[in-house]
A and B are shown apart, each in its own frame.
Chain A
Amino acid sequence: MKFVGDRHLRKEDPRLLTGRGRYVADIALPGLLHAVLLRSPHAHARIHRIDAARARAHRGVVDVVTFAELGSAGRALPMVPPHPELRGRNFAPLAADRARYVGEPVAAVVAESRYAAEDARELVEVEYEPLPSAQSLAPGTPAVHDDIADNLAGRVSLRRGDTAAALRAAPRVASLRLRIGRGGGQPMETRGLVADWSPALEQLTVWASSQVPHQIRQFVADLLELAPHQIRVLAPDVGGGFGAKLIVYPEDVLIPFLARRLARPVRWIEDRLEHMLAATQEREQEHEVTVGFDDEGRLLALRDRFVHDTGAYTPRGLVVPLLTASMLSGPYRIPAVESTFESRYTHRVPVTPYRGAGQPQAVFVIERVLDLVARETGRDRAQVRLANLVRAQDMPWDTGLPNYRGSGHVILDSGDLPSVLRRALEGARYEARVEEARRARADGRLLGVGVAAYVELTGVGPFESARVRIDAAGRISAWSGVTTQGQGLETTLAQVGADELGVTPPEVSVVTGDTAGVEHGTGSFASRAAVVGGSAIALAARDVHAKARRLAAQALGVGEGDLEQRGAAFSDRRRPERRVTFAELARVAGAATAALGVEPGLEATRFFQPTDMAYSSGAHVAVVEIDPLSAGVRILGYWISHDSGRLINPLIVEGQLHGAVALGIGSALLEEVAYDEAGQLLAGSYMDYLLPTATDVPTMAIDHLETLSPLNPLGLKGVGESGALPVPAVLASAIEDALGPDGGRVIRMPLGPARLMELLPPSAEGAPGLP
């Protein structure tokens, strides 16, 4: 392969660097109207009456829409995926007679300018009857949905072996209670849409800052009762997703509804304060885990019971807790495992996956367990992990737990986990670091080393599609059903296509996220885009290449074995002056008669349907020092070893890892969504919801290992979320090490200085602190 594996510079960069990116807020159409949303200020309230008369009369206002005006569009959005245990409920484009979280959309105001729309929004009078709200995961909270009195969205138990018996038989048993708090993807670009209805064409065009344009098209078709071919949804340049743009939201249907109703283009751009309220979140769980082990630190049994906060609705069903439960054993061999969860409704913004999708929680649990086992047996934490890791010769390894889709077990397809861990340890000079930390602690410093390992589920189906075409001018275009929010697919998919077609990446023009480009598509999430999207591009490009060779052989009157390709042309190996270009072949194919023996067009549409998920793996090592005066954490060193199969573009992979680790640092030390007892968001802006800055993220060292996945043509595995998975775990491990034997245990994330202060050993009191 010439280009796959290359640190190819990105094709997207010239326009993004010069301010010529086109994000949804940059799209202006003649006659554009601006929509703003009125959102519930109550976590739980009946909506008795909405009086929009004064708002409608405001200068510049064109319309105010409430549930009453939605007509047949006034119903719940579909939920995916289904599950037999799920008692699911989803939101509608606007709240009807009940608001179930602060931020739930209640009305839309449409005006000639955003300033006017926001002014008019204040004039909409809503008669709310506030009701008590469910703000905890304890049983007995007020029902979020009247017909689900116990607030249970689902209860699932996944098992391997007989955990009860294994725990009884285990020489040693220990337990932990762990808590993980809520956070959000927080892309730098908030959500937004521009929708335009053409009465003449009876066509709806929607630009959406979304990870799933095809799903939006389907939901809009369902709710607005249009045929899918009447709707085109495009994701323009999107400023980050991280899961915040993964689901189809009420606004994704509402804005197109408004455009159709008003027969004028409508633009809605979410502002950051809205995003804090209304963009979905994830992570909040409370775990009680019990582990059975022996004196050598071998894991014999693991039982985890957890409660998961799913928020007020379940647009993504039970996916997040299922991922946590099914991935609980991580990269380790554990003969008996049981993971049971309850997903509970609360009057808060819904929970759907964000970068990591339930897996950081699983990694946190199993890695805290391993540190516990190491401590109890007096063994080194890295050695305990090595002793329990699934080995290369064990692959493929069936963990015995059903996967989150219910399509089989979690089966680690490939990898060499002990090597991955060893590389991290070597890269960090782990033993020297441990010794350094021990000496420093003897001197009174709070210095510690942490280690964590993980496997990550990637490359989920159901499928991805790709269409590759060479046109009569010789232009090569590739359309994919994936979308890009910064992960460089315009470049990486071009690298894949170029290798298959025998050309260079600049010659392959990649278009993602356009429902007019490919009829069926899934989108970008769950670390699937390069794996599934890349595989589909490879298959389609291969087909086109094969067809081109066949036509070239016919055109030159030689056998295919006598063809030689140089760039976008084939020649007769023995008489190289006889040559035919891609453009010429496309013209021939464009007029294909029966005699030619091929169907018209130098084009192919292919789907890649993965038979199973491909599993990436990795290990991180971190060195931290805690300032005894402030309990601030400094990350002094950070080493990453990872295996995501064949790397299409190592430069882009490194960027993904850096970014995901930074996000993980945020979720471990800084970012906390906090609510008061009434369900009001306390961290409602960037003053209080703290994202990591350049001074919070260390310089990281990365080591790549590539074990190819047997599950797709190129041996790819996903990497987009990888870096985020072990960060809270490795920092917990390092912080606990730094606190020393007289310090507290890290059982809760995020861990800000006030909480960490309470864990400091008594010797830290009155210490002068770090400079």
Chain B
Amino acid sequence: MDEALDLLARHGEDAKLLAGGQSLVPMMNMRLVRPAVVVDLNRVAALDAVHGDAGGLRLGALVRQHALERDGRIAAAAPLLAEAAPLIGHLQTRARGTVGGSLAHADPAAELPACMIALDAVFHLRSARAARSVPAHEFFRGLLATALGPDELLTEIELPAPAPHAGHGFAEVARRHGDFALVGACAVLAVDQAGACRHARLVIFGAGDGPHLARATAALLGAAPAPARLAEVGRAAAEEIDARADLHATAAYRRRVAAGLAARVLTAAAARAKAA
């Protein structure tokens, strides 16, 4: 770890971190990115550890994405991650790709950044000089941009214990199975003993420059999550986004699908919360 941080301190912008390589190496092969120094994190001890349980989980940044599908502790503590994981790329992507790598790369259509925001995750960053923590919802700063400084390394992702009577939902629309999402949504919702919503997070991804934490969920607090209300919140959330257009989808398409997916994940989260 110290060696890696030292290299980052010395080379800064000229260095690139290599974790799973599923985002960096294609860009290097296409000669879009030419780092002078590549710092291979794969042998840094303990970066791939998983600690904790349903009372609070800590994932090392180098935990491979396929662990999210396979490790029972993760499925128990953060079922949202276990549900999202099979949609991250393909078998081969997940065998090598890492949780930290996906978060640091911050592709706007990536699943994990959105899930981490929905789970109120806290990211631990280190440099040769200092250590600091950044909540997930402050970490993503725009298209492929994060709070990471040029000499900083994301080392660990901390997931707080989920609230009682909490449920999750995840859905995405992609052109083909495993592709980056055209639009996706994930939600975490918790209800109190009376069934009224006391916590709601809805994150829409793929529609704009980065994952979008919806403000419209505020309207859900204090009342039972009824279908009409969830649909309305979904529509309002979709309107919050400055949707982007590209080769695969128009902005209008993304907004319309975002609204539909938001309603769907809120509905799933509410149903699970009620059953929890």
Contacts and interface: CB of A to CB of B under 8 A. Distances in A.
Say if the two chains contact directly (CB < 8 Å).
yes
Interface of A: 118, 273, 629-632, 670, 672, 674, 682-683, 685, 687-688, 690, 692-693, 695-696, 752-754, 757, 765-769
A696 B253 contact: no
B231 A766 contact: yes
B177 A690 contact: no
A685 B257 contact: no
Interface in B240-261: 247-250, 253, 256-257, 260-261
Given A629-B260, A630-B260, A754-B253, A683 B247 contact: yes
Given A629-B264, A753-B173, A766-B231, A273 B247 contact: no
A522 B257 CA distance: 51
A682 B261 contact: no
B132 interface: no
B175 interface: yes
B187 interface: no
B31 interface: yes
Given A757-B253, A766-B260, A769-B260, A690 B179 contact: yes
Nearest to A674: B247
A765 B182 CA distance: 18
A273 B31 CA distance: 11
Interface in B142-185: 173, 175-180, 182
A685 B30 contact: yes
Contact of B176 (A273, A693, A766): A693
* Chain A contact residues: helix, strand, loop or mixed: loop
Contacts of A630: 173, 182, 257, 260
B31 A670 contact: no
Contact of A753 (B31, B231, B253, B261): B253
Interface in B174-212: 175-180, 182
A765 B238 CA distance: 14
18 contacts: A630-B173, A630-B182, A630-B257, A670-B176, A674-B247, A683-B247, A690-B175, A693-B176, A693-B177, A696-B176, A696-B177, A752-B175, A752-B248, A757-B256, A766-B231, A768-B260, A768-B264, A769-B260
A666 to B, nearest CB: 10
Contacts of B261: 629
A629 B179 CA distance: 18
A688 B249 CA distance: 12
A766 B249 CA distance: 18
Contacts of A118: 31
Contacts of A682: 247
Contacts of A687: 180
Nearest to A628: B260
A693 B253 CA distance: 24
B204 to A, nearest CB: 14
Contacts of A753: 173, 175, 182, 249, 253
A754 B175 CA distance: 10
B247 A688 contact: yes
A464 to B, nearest CB: 39
Contacts of A683: 247
A769 B249 contact: no
Contacts of B173: 629-630, 632, 753
A267 B229 CA distance: 64
A207 B253 CA distance: 48
B266 to A, nearest CB: 12
A769 B178 CA distance: 19
Contact of B249 (A629, A754, A768): A754
B137 to A, nearest CB: 26
B250 A754 contact: yes
Given A688-B247, A752-B248, A695 B260 contact: no
Contact of B175 (A670, A768, A769): A670
A629 B263 CA distance: 11
Please give me the 10 A-B residue pairs with the lowest Cβ-Cβ distance, nearest first: A629-B260, A695-B177, A630-B173, A754-B253, A754-B249, A754-B250, A682-B247, A757-B253, A630-B257, A690-B175
Contacts of B260: 629-630, 766-769
A273 B29 CA distance: 10
A769 B264 contact: yes
A685 B180 CA distance: 14
A696 B180 CA distance: 16
- Of B179, B247, B261, most buried by chain A (CB within 10 Å of CB) is B247
Contact of A695 (B30, B176, B263): B176
A629 B257 contact: yes
B92 to A, nearest CB: 13
A562 B253 CA distance: 79
A682 B248 CA distance: 11
Contacts of A769: 260, 264
Nearest to B172: A630
| Residue picked from B30, B31, B178, B260, most chain A C-beta under 10 Å | B260
A384 to B, nearest CB: 34
A757 B175 CA distance: 13
Given A754-B248, A754-B250, 4 more contacts: A631-B253, A690-B176, A752-B249, A769-B264
A630 to B, nearest CB: 4
Interface in B218-249: 231, 247-249
Nearest to B245: A754
Contacts of B179: 690
Contacts of A767: 260
B231 to A, nearest CB: 7
A696 B249 CA distance: 19
A696 B31 CA distance: 31
Nearest to B257: A630
Contacts of B178: 693, 695
Contacts of B180: 687
Nearest to B259: A766
A695 B177 CA distance: 7
Contacts of A768: 260, 263-264
A670 B178 CA distance: 14
Contacts of A273: 30
Contacts of A754: 248-250, 253
A564 B180 CA distance: 67
B143 to A, nearest CB: 16
Nearest to A696: B176
A767 B231 CA distance: 10
B102 to A, nearest CB: 16
B244 to A, nearest CB: 12
A154 to B, nearest CB: 31
